[in-house]
Amino acid sequence: MKRRFIFHPCGNYHEKYEPQLNVYETDYGRLWTAVGIVMLFTMVPLTSSQYILYVVNSIGIAAIAAVGLNILIGYTGQISLGHGAFFGVGAYGAAYLATRWEIPFMLSVPAAGLIAALTGLIFGLPSSRLKGLYLTIATLAGQFIIEYVLIHWESVTQGTMGITLPTAKLLGLEITGDVRFFYVIFTLLILMLWMAVNLMRTKYGRAFVAIRDNDRAAEGMGISIFPYKLLAFAISSFYAGVAGAVWAYYTLSITTEPFNLGLSVEYIAMVIIGGMGSMSGAVFGAVFITGLNEILRWGTDLMMNMGLVSQLGLNMAPLREFVFGLAIVLFILFEPRGIAEVWRIVRSSFRLWPFSY
Amino acid sequence: MDFFIQLLVNGLSVGFLYGISAMGFVMIFKSSSVLNFAHGELLAIGAYIFLVLVTWAQLPVYAAFLLTMLACFSLGFIIERLFLRPLIGEPLIFVIMLTVGLAAMFKGLILLIWGGNLHTFPDFLPEWLTFSWGAVTVQPVYSLALVVGLSFLALFGIFFKFSSQGIYMRSVADNQRAALSLGVNVKNVFALSWAIAALVAGLSGIILGIINGVNVHDLSAIGLKVFPVVILGGLDSIGGAIVGGLIIGLLETLTGGYISPSLRDVVPYIVLVVILMLKPYGLFGQVEIERV
């Protein structure tokens, strides 16, 4: 059959299940995505300054981790409070493999992801066989235990000294500087997004959603909950690990400090604010939170320069914490489906004009 | 041997404080099966309100204490009215994420107002609260803690077992929709349980503040240490919270004394993982037969 260019139908005309599984409802979506990717890869590195590029790269790394957390929170209905620690495990895994065994970038990043996933399994194993939110509590424990291990397992992590990584090499090309990293990070992000979107269309993804919506009914339909919950948790930790590994190569020198509970809460904020159960939502959330971080830093610097507040009077960390908390609370109360839903409403009101509601 | 006895006494007293701190948490879990991640911040808010009333407003201790209790009780109501009531009937995951957000918000707010430094209360406890048996002397704070802990234990036991509100609370925790359809006023249950929990948290915050000084980082760390305590004791058991607190406190001081001081803060979480593996409903928790 000849393939036709599909436009928006004025109703739901699905006669089979297959069209409902499509990622894109129309070919317009496919086209826009392609255009967007081309624009992203050509325009951004050429036009932006080094600082902007650094922020964009941070967004890309955060988005990889947030997509992973969204698989767990948004699609499987389990909360992880240890995502920041698994990010750290990935970073240290990559650093260890790269410095001790001189494993190349191409292999050490997925290997770091696998290490993070295995670490996740250790904490997920006892908790996810129980109903309810025991996984949340176990990941809280995981957060603290991993932080402790990272600081005190000195033969591997070199404790508070930190590890300095070698320059990443990909296909004989040295990846240095923000522009090259931009291409690596965003290629990886698109790959991971593509994997996540397609995972949700498989048997496994549908099982995750079934568990989220009603675990008893899912069990009744023959989905064994325990392995699927564990699988979702391992996949989300894998994403965190990969993001952490890339981050380690990007910053070149890592210490144990950033991987605390605050980072985990930041990722949760990304998922909630972006939109639970939406892949684009995780990216929106990463943009929002990273952008908010930079705006707050910029704002406090500006206020200090203008002499409105003294150096001691305004510390950035508490303000940031307050604003993040407030953003989480406001989004849960007023738009629980996050920015992705706002975006959908805006888009559909354009499409349905002049009959939008 | 002296060292061991000293550690034992320290551990038991620290553990009892953990137990008292955990009671407010269990209160909320028992009445709405919500894991409250903002519990440490509730402890801190109580302690800071008391601090302001005693040192800045120079109120007499009894008046300051009563006002703090009143403020915490109303704070519980306000939290319920502003943040939790819109979420009645929504999936539990939203409520729990909301408490994560509230925790960050309150902690940031407290840090913005009072900063991260250690504050101390003036010494105000009367001497007659000091007890001594032979070599062992009980500081007035600890006897106060003992009285508070035991009386709340008894009160909560009676409340959940016999009062109609207590039974409503348990029904809401069991199944919110079923409780709603049977005519339980879920709004009242939420409001009352958060108000009582905030009050208990404020009270334990004051006691912790007398002993360790008031510092939001320490208090919110204790708010998270509540999780191992209640998992060990059983999530829905108030008595279990006390027993769990004692065990966790003992383990902490013993590892701190004999193995390594840096391991001290991590031991509770290791215990948590082990307990989840061996006895997931804790020592005194109600075992759910259904495992999904």
A303 shares contact with chain B (CB less than 8 Å): no
Q: What ipTM does this complex have? A: 0.84
- pLDDT given for residue A190 in this prediction: 92
- Whether the Cβ atoms of residue A134 and residue B280 lie closer than 8 Å to each other: yes
Q: What angle do CA B273, B275, B277 make, to 5 degrees?
A: 70
DSSP state of B53: I
Tell me what pLDDT residue A49 has.
Answer: 83
Find the residue in B nearest to A125 (Cα): B277
Domains of chain B: 2-122+135-278 (1.10.3470)
Nearest CB to A79; choose among B86, B87, B93: B93
Beta-carbon separation of B280 and A130 below 8 A: yes
A328 vs B: CB within 8 A: yes
B266 — phi, psi (to 5°)? -95, -25
Q: What is the DSSP letter of A278?
A: -
Using CB atoms within 10 A of its CB, is residue A20 exposed (0-12), middle (13-18) or buried (19+)?
exposed
Burial (CB count <10 Å: 0-12, 13-18, 19+), residue B253: buried
Q: Which of A79, A215, A320 has its CB closest to that of B292?
A: A215
Question: What mean pLDDT value characterizes chain A?
Answer: 84
* Nearest neighbour of A129 by CB, restricted to B108, B288, B291: B291
Return the residue in A322, A324, A335 with the most chain B beta carbons within 10 A, the one to mutate for interface testing: A322
Residue A306: pLDDT above 60? yes
pLDDT for res A207: 92
What mean pLDDT comes out for the span A16-21?
A: 77
Q: From the list A133, A144, A152, which residue is nearest B35 (CB)?
A: A133
Residues paired with A169 in a beta bridge = A174
The total of other beta-carbon atoms located within 10 Å of residue A334's CB is 8
The shortest C-alpha distance from B172 to chain A (Å) reads 15
Phi then psi for residue A310, to 5 deg, are -80, 165
**Residues in chain B, pLDDT under 70:** 127-129, 132-137, 288-292
Give the tokens for residue A69: 């957390």
**DSSP 3-state of A44:** helix
Q: What is the pLDDT of residues B9-42, one digit of tens each?
A: 888 888 888 888 888 888 888 888 788 899 999 9
Q: Is residue A356 very low, low, confident or very high in pLDDT (cuts 50, 70, 90)?
A: low
Q: Is B155 on the interface with A (CB under 8 A)?
A: no
State both tokens at A342: 């706002």
Report yes or no: B113 at the A interface, CB cutoff 8 Å.
no
Nearest to A137 among B116, B231, B291 (CB): B231
Would you call B87 and A332 a contact, using CB atoms and an 8 Å cutoff?
yes
CA–CA–CA angle A204, A273, A201 (5° rounding): 20
Domain spans of chain A? 54-255+262-351
Residues of A in contact with B87 (CB under 8 A): 332-333
Name every chain A residue with its beta carbon within 8 A of the beta carbon of B269. 140-142, 144-145
In the block, tokens 């027993």 appear at: B243
CA angle B81, B22, B51 (to 5 degrees): 70
* Closest chain A residue to the Cα of B292, Cα to Cα: A131
| Residue A41 touches chain B, beta carbons under 8 Å | no
User: How many Cα atoms sit within 13 Å of B257 on the Cβ side?
Assistant: 17
Distance set, CA A246 to CA A49, A58, A105, A188 (Å): 21, 10, 9, 9
Q: What is the pLDDT, as a whole number, of residue A112? A: 92
In chain B, which residues have their Cβ closer than 8 Å to the Cβ of A317?
111
Lookup: tokens for B161: 């077992």
Nearest to B22 by CA among B189, B208, B277: B208
Q: Do A322 and B112 touch (CB under 8 A)?
A: yes
Give how far B212 is from chain A: nearest CA, Å. 22
Burial of A204 per CB tally in 10 Å (0-12, 13-18, 19+): middle
Phi, psi of A163 (to 5 degrees): -125, 140
B292 in A contact zone (CB under 8 Å) = yes
Q: Does residue A275 come out as left (phi exceeding 0), alpha (psi in the -120 to 50 range) or beta?
A: left
Chain B touched by A296 (CB under 8 Å): no
Looking at CA atoms only, how far is residue B241 from chain A in angstroms?
16
Tens of pLDDT, residue by residue over A220-262, are 888 888 889 999 999 999 999 999 999 998 988 888 888 888 8
Q: What is the pLDDT, as a whole number, of residue A311?
A: 52
Higher pLDDT, A157 or A4: A157
Q: Which residues of A touch B285 (CB under 8 A)?
A: none
Whether residue B83 and residue A81 make contact (CB cut-off 8 A), yes or no, is no
How many CB atoms sit inside 10 A of residue A40's CB? 16
Say yes or no for a CB contact (<8 Å) between B273 and A123: yes
Q: Is A212 left (phi over 0), alpha (psi -120 to 50) or beta?
A: alpha
The per-residue pLDDT for B291 is: 54
Q: Which two tokens stand for residue B241?
A: 């919270």
A351 touches chain B (CB under 8 A): no
Local confidence band at A277 (pLDDT 50, 70, 90 cut-offs): confident
Strand, coil or helix: A174: strand
**H helices present in A101-171, as ranges:** 105-127, 134-152, 154-157
Among the listed residues A103, A23, A84, A130, the one whose alpha carbon sits nearest the alpha carbon of residue B289 = A130
* Residues contacting B75, CB < 8 A, separation 6+: B42, B45, B198, B202
Least confident of A146-150, A205-209, A268-272, B55-59: B55-59
Contact B83 A320 (CB under 8 A): no
Test mutation, A321, A326, A335, chain B, max B CBs within 10 A:
A321
DSSP B182: T
Residue of B nearest to A213 (CA): B91
Q: Residue A118 — very low, low, confident or very high, per pLDDT cuts 50/70/90? A: very high
> What SS3 state is found at A333?
helix
Q: Tokens representing B100?
A: 């994560």
Q: What is the pLDDT of residue B185?
A: 86
Percent of chain A with pLDDT over 90: 23
Place of tokens 């826009």: A32
Closest partner residue to A328 among B104, B265, B270, by Cβ?
B104
Report residue A308's pLDDT band, with 50, 70 and 90 as the boundaries: low
Greater confidence (B103 vs A320) lies with: B103
Residues on chain B touching A265 (C-beta within 8 angstroms): 100, 104
Provide the pLDDT confidence category of residue A286 given band limits of 50, 70 and 90.
very high
Q: How far is CA B183 from the centre of its chain?
A: 30
**pLDDT tens, A28-51?**
778 888 888 888 888 888 887 888
CB contact under 8 A, B292 and A225: yes
CB–CB of A145 and B269 under 8 A? yes
Residues A294, A56: Cα–Cα separation, whole Å: 11
Distance CA A126, CA B281 (A): 12
H-state helical runs in chain B: 2-32, 39-51, 61-79, 92-114, 140-162, 164-174, 176-181, 186-212, 216-233, 238-258, 267-278
